[in-house]
Structure 1
Amino acid sequence: MDVGRWLAKQCQHTIWAGLMDGQRERLEEPGITPLPPEQETPARAPKALWGL
């Protein structure tokens, strides 16, 4: 598992909002906070669409 990719996903505003309070608290302990919606990177296109 790519921990960096997992962490980046957890910081997305929509994912962060869906976490339980305890999960957010555990991420905040080491200083991890959600990104503002305007700083989120757009989702990647599925590999099947790359060749189009």
Structure 2
Amino acid sequence: MGRATAVAFAQAGASVVVAARRAGEGEETVRLAKDAGSEALPTKPLKQESLG
């Protein structure tokens, strides 16, 4: 799921959990979701090799 989808869910009233490979991008998505009126929780940045 990408940023646009997370924000769309947030705009629809869903709470979202944000996982990203880069912390800055994840923080921006959390901010956008919160600005849309949703609860948004970040995770630690993901490492590509952990995705198997």
Q: TM-score, normalised to structure 1's length?
A: 0.30
Q: Between Structure 1 and Structure 2, which shows a larger proportion of strand residues?
A: 2
Q: Between Structure 1 and Structure 2, which shows a larger proportion of helix residues?
A: 1
Bigger CA radius of gyration = 1
Q: TM-score, normalised to structure 2's length?
A: 0.30
